[in-house]
């Protein structure tokens, strides 16, 4: 749009996506008095596929392509995404105009029956659609049973309450945003369940070269979160990041201006996992990622990837 008085946000129509778009709408309206911000809701391919786990469908950008097309046509100015769902390489002609402050990036344990993973008896059933979480359970709690669960946050909770699972592992961020924070029985420490690249942050996608919109949204950007998630996403990008491989990457800012990046790649069939970590200046997140990648590769990351993708 050519003026500062209007901004159209393209968004998926899941409750979480709408919450996130409304959140950015409110940020914009508070910042720019009199600005009219509209949401343009749309259904993506990822939303239509409900019968399979996402890891089996694969495909990059299942949740973003339609939103990009709408921006390309000029029908919307920005798209708001969970950064976790944004492909490591954006489509040609798009950039991340801002990366927001992070909600709690850790995974959460949700169960009507048990207070934590440690309390679950052998054979109890945990629902998750994420290979990363599946691997975490297999390696730390080998006697639990992992079953796939699909659907948006509310649907998953309903399936849990119906008794299809004894517990779910979900992102704390999504639960808190939707007002289900009270369903969290335990937050799982990053040393047990290392989060996914970008988990808990929002990414604001903008057309490359749309300077007006880029400057409009720049106040939403958190330089610290941007640096941390850039390092996390680089690990995933370099390893061919897709939902078909259990992969974690999580960086935190430290008091000395450096970031601490930890990453993991593994095989959810065998339970094998390799970890690496590095610290480095916030100004050069890609160098920190490069150090972690080198260490992961030295520990066999490429072989593990091949084994997972070949099986």
Residues, the chain: 311
Nearest approach, Cβ of 261 to ligand PBG (angstroms)? 18
Task: Pick between residue 70 and residue 199 the one whose CB is nearest to ligand PBG.
Answer: 199
- 166 touches 114 (CB < 8 A): yes
| Of residues 201, 221, 223, 220, the one with CA closest to residue 37 | 220
Is 283 exposed, middle or buried (CB count within 10 Å of its CB: 0-12, 13-18, 19+)?
exposed
Known active-site residue 122 = no
* Residue ranges in 153-172 that form contacts with ligand PBG under rule CB under 6 A: 170-171
Candidates 12, 25, 84, 138: give the one binding ligand PBG (CB under 6 A): 84
* Residue ranges in 182-201 that form contacts with ligand PBG under rule CB under 6 A: 199-200
Task: Pick between residue 199 and residue 213 the one whose CB is nearest to ligand PBG.
Answer: 199
Give the pairing of strands 247-253 and 202-207: unpaired
Nearest approach, Cβ of 137 to ligand PBG (angstroms)? 14
Task: Pick between residue 242 and residue 284 the one whose CB is nearest to ligand PBG.
Answer: 242
Beta-bridged to residue 145, according to DSSP, are: 125
Tell me how crowded residue 230 is: count the other CB atoms within 10 A of its CB: 21
Candidates 24, 76, 78, 173: give the one binding ligand PBG (CB under 6 A): 173
- 213 touches 207 (CB < 8 A): yes
Nearest approach, Cβ of 242 to ligand PBG (angstroms)? 13
Nearest approach, Cβ of 197 to ligand PBG (angstroms)? 10
Show the tokens assigned to 206.
Answer: 């903008």
- 228 touches 253 (CB < 8 A): yes
Task: Pick between residue 207 and residue 262 the one whose CB is nearest to ligand PBG.
Answer: 262
Positions in the binding site for ligand PBG (CB under 6 A): 82, 84-85, 170-171, 173-174, 199-200
Q: What positions carry a catalytic annotation?
A: 85
């Amino acid at each position: 749009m050519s003026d500062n008085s209007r901004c159209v946000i393209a968004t998926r129509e899941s409750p979480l996506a709408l919450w996130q778009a409304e959140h950015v709408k409110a940020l914009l309206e508070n910042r720019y008095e009199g600005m009219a911000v509209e949401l343009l809701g749309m259904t993506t391919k990822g939303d239509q596929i409900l019968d399979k786990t996402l890891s089996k469908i694969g495909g990059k950008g299942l949740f973003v392509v339609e939103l990009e097309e709408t921006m390309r046509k000029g029908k919307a100015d920005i798209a708001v995404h969970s950064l976790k769902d944004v492909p490591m390489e954006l489509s040609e002609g798009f950039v991340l105009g801002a990366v927001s402050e992070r909600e709690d990036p850790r995974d959460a344990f949700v169960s009507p029956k048990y207070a934590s993973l440690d309390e679950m008896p052998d054979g109890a059933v945990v629902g998750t659609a994420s290979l990363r979480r599946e691997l975490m359970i297999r390696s730390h709690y080998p006697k639990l049973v992992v079953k796939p669960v699909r659907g948006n946050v509310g649907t998953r909770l309903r399936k849990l309450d119906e008794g299809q699972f004894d517990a779910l592992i979900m992102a704390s961020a999504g639960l808190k945003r939707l007002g289900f924070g009270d369903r969290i029985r335990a937050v799982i420490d990053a040393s047990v369940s290392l989060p996914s690249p970008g988990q808990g942050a929002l990414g604001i996608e903008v057309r490359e070269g749309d300077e007006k919109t880029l400057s409009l949204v720049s106040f939403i950007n958190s330089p610290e979160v941007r640096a941390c998630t850039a390092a996390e996403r680089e690990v995933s990008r370099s390893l061919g990041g897709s939902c078909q491989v259990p992969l974690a990457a999580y960086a935190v800012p430290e008091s000395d201006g450096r970031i601490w990046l930890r990453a993991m790649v593994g095989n959810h069939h065998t339970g094998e996992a390799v970890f690496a970590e590095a610290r480095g200046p916030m100004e050069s997140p890609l160098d920190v990622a490069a150090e972690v990648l080198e260490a992961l590769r030295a520990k066999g990351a490429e072989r593990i990837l091949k084994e997972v993708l070949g099986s």
